[in-house]
């Protein structure tokens, strides 16, 4: 993931298999673009002996539209993450009406 992020961005482990990425000074469109790049980068890699493929689902929340407090942003991003998983995984769900999918 680090290859897709700027030096000012921070990755946090959040839960067992979940991560949060803090993108400072990033508008909603930029956050969506980063999420899509992360999804594509992870989905394009093969792990282990070349037989393990991993996909990720991402929920994007951006202040101030989705909240000002960190706890509110995390709650909204988490809701969108679960929506992405519910819709079939390997997706990015944002506050916009679009949902990206690459099978």
pLDDT at 85 over 80: yes
pLDDT at 23 over 90: yes
Per-residue model confidence (pLDDT) at position 66: 95
Per-residue model confidence (pLDDT) at position 103: 45
Q: Delineate the domains of the chain, giving CATH numbers in brackets.
A: 2-94 (3.30.70.270)
The residue ranking higher by pLDDT, 97 or 55, is 55
Q: Which residues pair with 99 in a beta bridge?
A: 93
Residue 83 annotated as catalytic: no
Rounded to 5 degrees, what are φ and ψ at 101? -145, 135
Per-residue model confidence (pLDDT) at position 52: 86
> Which of 17, 18, 29, 72 is an active site residue?
17
Closest to 90 in 3D by CA, of 58, 66, 68: 58
Using 50, 70 and 90 to split pLDDT, how confident is the model at 98?
Answer: low
């Amino acid at each position: 993931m680090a290859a897709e992020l700027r030096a000012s961005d921070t990755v946090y482990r959040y839960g067992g298999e979940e991560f949060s990425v803090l993108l400072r000074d990033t508008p909603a469109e930029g956050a969506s673009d980063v999420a899509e790049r992360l999804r594509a980068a992870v989905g394009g890699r093969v792990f282990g002996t070349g037989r393990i493929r991993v996909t990720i689902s991402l929920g994007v929340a951006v202040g101030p539209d989705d909240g000002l407090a960190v706890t509110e942003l995390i709650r909204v991003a988490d809701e969108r993450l679960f929506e992405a998983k519910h819709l079939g995984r390997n997706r990015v769900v944002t506050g916009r009406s679009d949902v990206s999918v690459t099978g």
